[in-house]
Amino acid sequence: SYELTQPPSVSVSPGQTARITCSGDVLPKKYAYWYQQKSGQAPVLVMYEDSKRPSGIPERFSGSSSGTMATLTISGAQVEDEADYYCYSTDSSGNHKGVFGGGTKLTVL
Amino acid sequence: EVQLVESGGGLVQPGRSLRLSCTASGFTFDDYAMHWVRQAPGKGLEWVSGISWKSDNVGYADSVKGRFTISRDNAKNSLYLQMNSLRAEDTAFYYCAKDFDPGDDFWNFPGGFDVWGQGTLVTVSS
């Protein structure tokens, strides 16, 4: 099995830059995906294939990956960005498994 | 509009079975792999299972392997999850999710998901 590790929480003031990290041995070989989940709602894709932003996601969201760490960056975080963020990636050994990180609670206040 | 609608959740006793369904619309269902993801109340997301468009690549989380079976009916634009020998720890919201890709590539399955349903709640309790 393999794991993705995220910090449990990140806190910033409005307008500051929030960085959420995701570490895992599979990340040099597989893409990271990021999902935002607001309270009581289904998750929403905010970044795919490490650094691609889906249509409709604000430009303040960006992604990167280097070595065993992927990072979701929110430049100029807004109050409405407060949510849980999950990274996701996939097994690289043909076992056909996906895995999520434990999630990071982003607080913007 | 791309839409995924889950159904079949409910209250079930430990050891019993339940079958979840997901009906897709707004896209060509048999062009994409599909997945089930769950979330226990107050907990994080857990990938449960995925299936390629042809059903030739299938994967399960260790926590459900041997008890859950994923399947699909492309003619009905539907995805299923047969859950047997249910346990209290299977209590969760179950989400259906659409993959970016068909899932043909053995070494690149599963992929990530771009669309999620709203989920259906499964409660396992006596």
Beta strands in A13-92 (DSSP E): 18-23, 33-37, 44-47, 61-66, 69-74, 83-90
In B, minimum Cα distance to A30 occurs at B108
**CA distance to B47, B108, B118, per residue, from B95 (Å):** 9, 22, 7
d(CA B56, CA A77): 43
Instruction: Report CB contact under 8 Å: B60, A97.
Output: yes
d(CA B79, CA B116): 13
Which pLDDT tens digit goes with each residue over B39-64? 999 999 999 999 999 999 999 999 99
DSSP annotation of B82: E
Query: Which of B44, B57, B59 lies nearest to residue A86, judging by beta carbons?
Result: B44
pLDDT (tens digit, 0 to 9) for every residue of chain A, 109 residues total?
A: 589 999 999 999 999 999 999 999 999 999 999 999 999 999 999 999 999 999 999 999 999 999 999 999 999 999 999 999 999 999 888 889 999 999 999 999 9
Which pLDDT tens digit goes with each residue over B73-125? 999 999 999 999 999 999 999 999 999 999 988 888 998 999 999 999 999 99
Burial class (CB in 10 A: 0-12, 13-18, 19+), A81: buried
A54 and B CB contact within 8 Å = yes
Tell me which residue has tokens 């609670």: A105
- pLDDT at residue A1, rounded to an integer: 57
A49 and B CB contact within 8 Å = yes
Tokens of B54: 């042809």
In A, minimum Cα distance to B93 occurs at A42
